[in-house]
Amino acid sequence: MAGAKAQTTTNFRERLAQRTQHGDSIFWAVTLFFALAVIALVVAIGWVTWNDSALARERFGIGFFASSEWNPVETEVSPESFGAVPAIVGTLISSLIALILAAPIAVGIGIFLAELCPLSLRTPLSFMVELLAAIPSVIYGVWGVMVFAPFFTQHVAMPLSESMREIIPWLSSSQVAAGRGLLIAGIILAIMILPTIAAITRDVLTLVPNTQREVLLALGATKWEVIWLAVVPYARAGIVGGVMLGLGRALGETMAATMLVGNRPQVPGSLLEPATTAAALIASELINAQSLLHESALVLIALTLFVITLLLNLIARLLIWFVNRGPVGSVRA
């Protein structure tokens, strides 16, 4: 009786062992497949944009990235001609404006939410920040066009343009009344990326171990010192990561940029006159491209934006690696 029972137990154990012997390798293969799918996707995007831009690459070569010409309509005096400079300049400047405006404020919001906010306010405020991140960009665009652009043009851009005419030419323009340009697009982009950076900053700060705060607190540090000497340095890699994610969103943001940047494919002489960004240019022109060459040039712009994004991510990685190093000769425990 007892022997029989022992026998069934052994059988059960053996069967279970048999049934699960390949479990880990199957799991490994499945996750490997998903991981490789990501790489395949990146390669596929690169491949498609590379192939579909062949016409433009052959026609303009490396000169594409040095030319500010953008003339999709062939006439007798001016032939069809495309260059990437307006799109690259517009993309970089509008994203830079967004980053400069949003990063300090967003990090401040994150610090407040994680370190200083009374508990009763933390949940509702965090919720609002996340809600802000979830609003579709077209709504920001609509708000920008209907509310912000008229207000900004009337009360800020026009007086600014007037007073800066002789002093800083790139803050002054005769086309300021159009209410479109890199500055206004940059400000809207800043509002859009603010919640992303703030939410990530808050999350990485709450992950900082309490001992980091306590050790400084026990040395007689104030809240200010605890935050700036212990908490933020510990989390700086994550904060830089959040800022870079925000930058990525600003670079690729299409809808709001298209609605507010003015869609004029020229290098603007001023932040206050209509310009374009890479994403806005593609979105506004691809559907009614005039010719195969035009379409191919737009795909080449897409490839350029893709490469810029990759490069900036690479720089961000290097930056994180760099700030994460300890003092010279140290081994990080």
Partner 1 sequence: MEETTQGSSRLLNGFAETVSPAGERVAQTATEAKIEAIGFNFYYGTFQALRNINIRIPQNRVTAIIGPSGCGKSTFLRAINRMHDRTPGARGEGQLLLGGANIYGEIDPVKLRRRVGMVFQRPNPFVKSIYENVAYGLRVQGVRDRRVIDEKVELALNRAALWDEVKDRLHKASGTALSGGQQQRLCIARAIAVDPEVVLMDEPCSALDPIATMKIEDLIHKLRANFTIVIVTHNMQQAMRVSDMTAFMLMDSATRAGELIEFSPTAELFTNPKDQRTKDYVTGRFG
Contacts of 308 (CB under 8 A, 6+ apart): 88, 91, 92, 251, 278
Quote the CA–CA distance of 87 and 83 in Å, as a whole number.
Answer: 8
**270: helix, strand or coil:** coil
Q: Which is nearer to partner 1, 205 or 247 (CB)?
A: 205
**Residue 14 touching partner 1 (CB under 8 A):** no
Q: Which is nearer to partner 1, 212 or 313 (CB)?
A: 212
Q: Segment near partner 1 (CB under 8 A), from 1-9, 29-37, 207-215, 260-268?
A: 207-215
**Residue 116 touching partner 1 (CB under 8 A):** no
Q: Which is nearer to partner 1, 142 or 221 (CB)?
A: 221
- Based on the number of CB atoms within 10 Å of its own CB, is 321 exposed (0-12), middle (13-18) or buried (19 or more)? exposed
**Residue 23 touching partner 1 (CB under 8 A):** no
Residue from 32, 215, 292, 307 in contact with partner 1 (CB under 8 A): 215
DSSP element (H, E) containing 70: strand 70-71
Quote the CA–CA distance of 145 and 113 in Å, as a whole number.
Answer: 31
**Residue 332 touching partner 1 (CB under 8 A):** yes
Residue from 7, 31, 214, 311 in contact with partner 1 (CB under 8 A): 214
Question: What are the Cα distances from residue 127, in Å, to 114, 122, 140, 224, 241?
Answer: 13, 8, 18, 25, 21
**Residue 333 touching partner 1 (CB under 8 A):** yes
DSSP tag of 167: T
Q: Segment near partner 1 (CB under 8 A), from 38-46, 77-85, 170-178, 325-333?
A: 325-333
Q: Which is nearer to partner 1, 133 or 217 (CB)?
A: 217
**Residue 146 touching partner 1 (CB under 8 A):** no
Residues at the contact surface with partner 1, assessed by CB under 8 A: 119, 210-222, 225, 229, 326-333
